[in-house]
A and B are shown apart, each in its own frame.
Chain A
Amino acid sequence: MRGEALKGHLDLLLLAAVRARPAHGYAIIENLRLRSGGSLDLPEGTVYPVLHRLERAGFLRSRWSEASGRRRRTYEVTEEGLSELRARERDWREFSRAVEGVLVEAT
């Protein structure tokens, strides 16, 4: 699945990717790639604007830390972000069921 198709779902995917534990940008992208079996493949740099937007919206918070002598920004989901994630998950499942229903009927 390429970038444009993913664009509308990135908020949901990124919130889901940091739900379990705080992570830095590289780890979040790697998590997405691994959990999707390599299907979620998008230019890595396009993830950062979304992380920043989610932080501005209060769904994520971030802090600097040191790793291998480099400054590293780590993101974690907030309570508000968890609520948003649950709401988006619900919407996605409904949407997915609806599309699946139409596709099954069409075949």
Chain B
Amino acid sequence: MNGSRRIKAYLDALGRELPGGRRFKGRVLAEVEDHLREGVRRERVDGVPAPEAEWRAIERFGSPGLVARRFAEDLTGSGARAAAWAMILATLGVMFLRFLPSLALGELLGMPSNGFFEPPGPWPGDILPPHLRPAMNVAQFAFLASLAAGAFALWRVWRRGWGAEIPDGELSVVVSATVLALAAFAVSGVAHTVFMFQRAEAVPGSPSPFVHAGFAAVRATITALGGYFVVRAVVRLLFLRRLQANSN
């Protein structure tokens, strides 16, 4: 194998083992290539033949498995932080949707003080189907569980410093709480929308059903995005941990 093929083979092997996305890998591989070629150049200046110079540069750099494992060790901490931030941001997004339109936006648009989606009373209180009431009541404040779980995860990462990991046991609790909270909020969104549609039919002066449909769609999108980012962060974290375990 000639020299540049040897470096290329090394970079290919490292690219396969490195954790992270394409952009991250691209940057690392460019840096490593520059490093190896600089090492070869200096060996050649000292009169070392090309194949030997390339072999030495690669030998000094360390095996692809070792380098990938060190990157995985460092990225595990940031993966844990990303998971925690995803939980917090997903929750804040849901909270934003829950409270802003019904109060602040209603105020802004000069709607009655009881909110954007609240038609002038009196209106019957038993419009919501009975089987949906418990789900809606429970889910109304389910985001608090998600917020608490995310805050707990961040606090643990902060306590342990930059190279931190969230222990597996705690991570599963945090993730379960967050996913359940998001699912509960999605159920509450459906229940709330059903309620709004039924009330719009029964109570004169209610906003158009299309307003509710639009709001429900935005709410569902934010909830789904929140869930997606949480799951993505956790999957990435688990991948990094598996890579570490396999390399040890």
Partner of B60, one of A43, A67, A72, A73: A43
Are A52 and B38 in contact, CB atoms less than 8 angstroms apart? no
Contact assessment for B38 and A48 in the assembled complex, using a CB-CB cutoff below 8 Å: no
Taken residue by residue from 60 to 78, chain A's Cβ proximity to chain B (1 for < 8 Å, 0 otherwise) reads as: 0000000110111100000
B98 at the interface (CB under 8 A from A): no
Q: Is B160 an interface residue (CB 8 A)?
A: no
Please state if A50 and B74 are interface contacts (CB–CB under 8 Å).
yes
With beta carbons under 8 angstroms apart, the residue of A46, A67, A73 that contacts B67 is A46
* Contact B34 A45, beta carbon cutoff 8 Å: no
CA distance A69 to B19 in the complex (A): 28
> Given known contacts A57-B162, A71-B30, A71-B34, is B70 in contact with A45 (CB within 8 Å)?
yes
A43:B62 contact, CB within 8 angstroms: yes
Q: Looking at chain B, what size class is its interface with the partner chain?
A: 20 to 34
Number of chain A residues whose Cβ lies closer than 8 Å to a Cβ of chain B: 20
Give the nearest-CB partner of B24 in chain A.
A52
Cβ–Cβ contact A26 & B62, under 8 A = no
Q: Considering the chains assembled together, what is the distance between the CA atoms of A49 and B27 in angstroms?
A: 12
Contact B67 A48, beta carbon cutoff 8 Å: yes
Interface residue? B168 (CB, 8 A): no
| Interface membership of B31, Cβ < 8 A | yes
A80 touches B (CB below 8 Å): no
A43 with B34: CB separation less than 8 A: no
Which one, A26, A49, A53, contacts B35 given CB within 8 A? A26
- Residues B38 and A45 in contact, CB atoms below 8 Å apart: no
B206 at the binding interface (Cβ < 8 Å): no
Complex CA distance for A57 and B164, rounded to whole angstroms = 13
- Check if A70 sits within 8 Å of B37, measured CB to CB: yes
A44 CB-CB contact with B under 8 Å: yes
**Does B34 contact A49, Cβ atoms closer than 8 Å?**
no
Assembled-state Cα–Cα distance A73/B30 (Å): 9
Contact check, A72 vs B34: say whether CB atoms are below 8 A apart.
yes
Q: Is B61 an interface residue (CB 8 A)?
A: yes
B14-46 interface with A by 8 A CB criterion: 27-28, 30-35, 37-39, 41
User: 4 closest Cβ contacts across the A-B interface?
Assistant: A43-B62, A45-B67, A45-B62, A49-B70
- Can you pick out 28 interface pairs between chain A and chain B where the beta carbons lie within 8 Å of each other? A24-B34, A25-B35, A43-B60, A43-B66, A44-B60, A44-B62, A45-B66, A45-B67, A46-B62, A46-B66, A48-B31, A48-B35, A48-B67, A48-B70, A49-B73, A49-B74, A52-B28, A52-B74, A53-B74, A53-B162, A57-B162, A67-B34, A70-B34, A70-B37, A71-B30, A73-B27, A73-B30, A73-B34
Known: A45-B70, A70-B34. 17 other contacts (CB 8 A): A25-B35, A26-B38, A26-B39, A44-B62, A45-B61, A46-B67, A49-B70, A49-B73, A49-B74, A52-B28, A52-B71, A53-B162, A53-B163, A56-B78, A57-B162, A73-B30, A73-B31
